[in-house]
């Protein structure tokens, strides 16, 4: 049974800091959906999503909709965590055809609970030490000296940390983490 043909309500979760992305999702869904469908959007900023990773309990997200659109970082984390095939997760790369095909085959009553561990529990003890140095602006030479490891090991650790936390690259990692720390006053790290 398709939710789109029964004049039902449809909820869509959008995780992004980019208001233009939110508007683009709205426009795209409105073009595809039938007029008798009531669409409700739940917006979560990526910054708010990221802040959950710094809390001891991590992130708990109850997904009660078949559609989740997520920007960059949140997309990569959720892609690892969402195991329910009835939930359609779209990143910034989603095409109109992909979304349209998924909207045509929406099923009712989709629920999925997601628990994403906090940063400290996702990393080993050594990686946590390295994480603290990295977000506080230490360079490879300084970290190498302080941890008594080679620069190559620093690079390897940094790569593992970035991969485990779902960042695309070093710059995105440093920018997001330092921005969060500045906003929170440094109390959560």
> Do both 109 and 160 map to the same domain?
no
> Do both 70 and 100 map to the same domain?
yes
Whether 80 is in a domain gets the answer: yes
Whether 139 is in a domain gets the answer: yes
> Do both 103 and 13 map to the same domain?
yes
> Do both 129 and 61 map to the same domain?
no
| CATH number of the CATH domain containing 26 | 3.40.50
> Do both 34 and 93 map to the same domain?
yes
Burial classification of residue 93, based on how many CB atoms lie within 10 Å of its CB (0-12 exposed, 13-18 middle, 19 or more buried):
exposed
| Sheet strand arrangement including 67-70 | 38-44, 9-15, 67-70, 88-90
> Do both 38 and 130 map to the same domain?
no
Q: How far is CA 88 from CA 10, 74, 110, 115, 129, in A?
A: 13, 14, 10, 18, 36
Last residue of a domain, one of 116, 138, 159: 116
Q: Which domain holds residue 17?
A: 3-116
Whether 98 is in a domain gets the answer: yes
Please give the full DSSP string across 112-178, using - where no structure is assigned: EEEEE--HHHHS-HHHHHHHHHHHTT--HHHHHHHHT--HHHHHHHHHHHHHHHT-SSHHHHHHHHH
- Taking the complete model, does pTM exceed 0.75, yes or no? no
Whether 189 is in a domain gets the answer: no
Q: How many structural domains is the chain composed of?
A: 2
The pLDDT profile of the chain, 189 residues, written as one tens digit per residue, is: 234 445 567 888 899 888 888 898 888 888 777 667 788 888 988 878 877 877 778 888 888 888 889 887 788 888 888 887 888 889 888 888 888 888 777 665 677 788 888 878 888 999 989 988 988 889 899 999 999 999 999 999 999 998 888 787 888 888 777 776 766 665 544
Q: What is the DSSP letter of 69?
A: E
- pLDDT the model gives residue 2: 33
Last residue of a domain, one of 116, 141, 159: 116
> Do both 103 and 10 map to the same domain?
yes
- Are the beta carbons of 116 and 81 closer than 8 angstroms? yes
> Do both 131 and 105 map to the same domain?
no
- pLDDT the model gives residue 107: 62
Coil, helix or strand at residue 63: strand
Whether 48 is in a domain gets the answer: yes
- pLDDT the model gives residue 187: 52
Q: Rounded CA gap, 45 and 17, in Å?
A: 5
């Amino acid at each position: 049974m398709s939710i789109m043909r029964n004049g039902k309500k449809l909820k869509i979760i959008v995780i992004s800091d980019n208001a233009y992305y939110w508007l683009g999702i709205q426009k795209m869904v409105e073009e595809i959906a039938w007029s008798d469908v009531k669409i409700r959007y739940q917006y979560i900023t990526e910054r708010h999503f990221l802040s959950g990773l710094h809390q001891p309990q991590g992130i708990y997200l109850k997904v009660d909709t078949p559609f989740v659109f997520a920007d960059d970082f949140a997309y990569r984390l959720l892609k690892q965590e969402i195991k329910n095939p009835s939930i359609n997760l779209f990143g910034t790369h989603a095409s109109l055809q992909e979304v349209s095909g998924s909207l045509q085959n929406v099923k009712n009553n989709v629920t999925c609970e997601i628990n994403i561990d906090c940063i400290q529990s996702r990393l080993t003890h050594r990686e946590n030490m390295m994480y603290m140095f990295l977000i506080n602006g230490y360079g490879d030479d300084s970290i190498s000296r302080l941890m008594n490891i080679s620069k190559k090991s620093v690079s390897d650790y940094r790569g593992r940390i970035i991969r485990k936390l779902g960042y695309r690259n070093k710059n995105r990692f440093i920018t997001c983490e330092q921005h969060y720390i500045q906003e929170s006053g440094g109390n959560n790290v």
